[in-house]
Amino acid sequence: MENYLSPNISDTQAIEIIKSKIKKGESFAFTRFGDGEIYVLNKKSYPHFEKKNCEEWGYIYPDEVQKFYDDGAKIIKDAFVNSDLIGLMNKNCQIVNINYSPTTWSIKKSLIESWGLNSDNLSICDHQLSRQKILGSISGMKEVLQGKSVNIISTNTELLINKNLSKLLDCNVSFTYHSKEINFNNRREFIKDFNKIKSDVVLLGVGLQKDYTTILKNDYGKISLDMGATLDAWASIYSRPWFKKGGLQEHLIIE
C-alpha cells in the first residue's frame, strides 16, 4: 500500500475546506477518481467495460479501444493534476460494500510523480465523500452551500427539476442538461457554454468527463464539485444498490 495513494484527510476536514472556499467565493475543484478512472489510467480492463465505454464516449469497439484509453487517460490526468481536492476510495469506508484492492481503487505514487506532482502535497479525501450525509444528503449540501447559488450539470436534469431543489437547498438552483450524446470527441461546444453558468457553485455527475471540474475552475472561476452518482440518487435513479431504502446510502434519497 505504501506505493499507492490513499486518503490523507478526514471527511470533516474535506468539508471544512469546501465550505471555506464557498464562503470566500474562491475557485476550486473537487474531483473523484473511482474504479472506472483507474481502469482508464491503467489502460486495461474487462471487455464489457471497454465495449460499454467505447460506445458511450464516441469510439468504435474493438478497433478504437486504445484510442479511447489514450484520450480518456489524458482527460483524467488533466483533472487530477489541476484539482485542489482529490477523492480516492477509503478501504475502510463504511457506506459501501466492495472488495477493496489498490490496483482497482488507487493510483501509484510513481505515476503521479511522473506528472510532476509530489504525493505529500496532495489533499486526498474519501471517494465516497459525495455520498456521505455531510455532503450528499440534501441537509448536508444545504449547509455546505451556505445559500450560494448552484448549477447542476447532469444527464438527469428533467427528473432533478421536479425535486424542487431550490426550496430544499434554500438557494437558487439552475440546471445544465448534459446529453448522453456528448462524448470526448464532440464536447467542445458544450464546454464553451460553461460561460452561460452564472451560479457560484457547480455540481457535476457526468461520468468520465472528469476535467469538467478543473475547466470550470480554471477557465470560468467556479467552485466545482464532482458528485457522481449522488445526482442519480437525488433523481430517484437507483444506479447503485445501496441507494435504495434500507441501504447504506439511503440518506441520499429525496422523499
Q: Map out the domains of the chain as residue ranges.
A: 11-252
pLDDT, position 124: 98
Place of cell 463504511: 94
Region of residue 103 (left: phi > 0; alpha: psi -120 to 50; beta: else): alpha
In this structure, are residues 87 and 130 in contact, taking their beta carbons and an 8 Å threshold? yes
pLDDT, position 167: 98
pTM above 0.95, yes or no: yes
Burial call 227-245: b when 16+ CB within 10 Å, e when fewer: bbbbbbbbbeebebebbee
Radius of gyration, CA atoms only, the chain: 17
How far is the C-alpha of 104 from the C-alpha of 3, rounded, in Å? 14
Cβ-based neighbours of 72, under 8 Å, separated by 6 or more: 40, 53, 57, 184, 208
In this structure, are residues 83 and 31 in contact, taking their beta carbons and an 8 Å threshold? yes
Report the share of the chain in percent with pLDDT over 90. 97
Cβ-based neighbours of 163, under 8 Å, separated by 6 or more: 234, 235, 254
pLDDT, position 107: 98
pLDDT, position 1: 59
pLDDT, position 255: 79
Residues of the chain below pLDDT 70: 1
